[in-house]
Amino acid sequence: MKHLFITGIPSAGKSYLAEKIASATGAAHFDTDDWREEIRKDPELDKWVQFFWNKDEEKYWNQTSCQEHWQNLKNQSEAIWPAIVARIIDIKKSGQPAIFEGVNILPHLAAKDFDFPGVCLIGESEEVIFERNKKAPRWGSTEVLQKKEAEVFFNCEGPIYKSESEKHGIKVFSSVREAEEELMRLWKQK
């Protein structure tokens, strides 16, 4: 059985990369964000799935430091992690080769629960993240908020994902092409 994961900041190219690897290998691509609606059915987890969307984004960015934001993302990820892992275990049991990707696959969680390798994508630049945010908005409904997201994703989350990934032996990439080469190398090793 072959499985890989991709973690990293929003709009770094995780989905694009997972689709490329899935296409090249015949593996299924699973975006853990797609599981949120199912996870929300648990009333205890709904508040965590909706954590950011239940806030006034402009106020949130104006009042939340980088460390507070990371702690919020960490709390959200840890709360919904058992539900994510349960889905991954079911997919693995099916014997289906798969690529799993999502922002909530934090490095410390992957290191704790995954017996398969992966990579971390931290984005090429704040400008590239901003352009991707404008094309496919995540949270921000205005360009000003999308720009703020790009700034936080790249300059706050990026360095933390990088540091955490390196601490857990997960290779970090800003280039999707280089990450693709590494994932294909890992795939061929298995």
Q: Which parts of the chain fold into alpha helices (H)?
A: 14-25, 36-40, 43-49, 57-63, 66-93, 107-113, 126-135, 143-152, 158-167, 176-189
Query: For the chain, how many structural domains are there in total?
Result: 1
Instruction: Give residue 1's pLDDT.
Output: 60
Split the chain (190 residues) into runs of 10 and give each run's mean pLDDT. Answer: 93 96 96 93 93 93 96 97 97 95 97 97 96 85 92 97 98 97 91
> pTM for the full model?
0.95
Domain that holds residue 185: 3-189
pLDDT of residue 151: 96
Domain with 179 in it: what CATH number? 3.40.50.300
Measured between alpha carbons, how far is residue 146 from residues 26, 35, 81, 130 in Å?
34, 24, 27, 6
- Residue 190: predicted pLDDT: 61
| Residue 154 per-residue DSSP state | I
